[in-house]
Amino acid sequence: MLQQIYPSPTHEYEFELNKDMHFAASHYIPHKDAGACQKVHGHTYYANITIGGNQLDDSGFLINFKHIKKLIHKRFDHTLLNEDSLFSDEDPLKFPTTEVVAKTVCEIIQGHLDTLEHRPVCLQVFLRETPTSYVIYRPKRGKVS
């Protein structure tokens, strides 16, 4: 993966972890305003996930990098996003646009983080859909959905 500097969210946590990954997936946007994107097409998505926290777990991790990759890459790589239960062809707020995919990635990660005793927080998801187009999703403080 190319080295890239991502915009950094403002926070006061002692630790900030960033995980880069990519996954190949296809999707379509079922709306007349989507133009050519109404047809099935694919992308190699590049994601950067930022997690913050003040405490480490009993193995010295904020979260093990491999857990983040497993949650996202295993679920979405080489899939048609529209077929995933987290997306919908009926609800525009659940169409698999880059914005909604970024938010969904954050929610998946935060769902896992919420099970951890030391309670780290997903601060930001940077999701690049093409070399020239990306979305940054930052949940409102105290809220992930």
Active site residues: 37, 78, 129
Give the burial string for 64-103 (b: 16+ CB within 10 Å, else e).
Answer: eeeebbebbbebbeeeebbebebbeeeeeeebbbbebbbb
**The tokens 């187009």 sit on which residue?**
133
Other Cβ atoms less than 10 A from the Cβ of 12: the count is 6
Amino acid code (one letter) for 25:
A
Alpha helices by DSSP H, the chain: 65-76, 98-113
Q: Residue 134 contacts by C-beta under 8 Å, 6 or more apart in sequence?
A: 98, 126, 127, 128
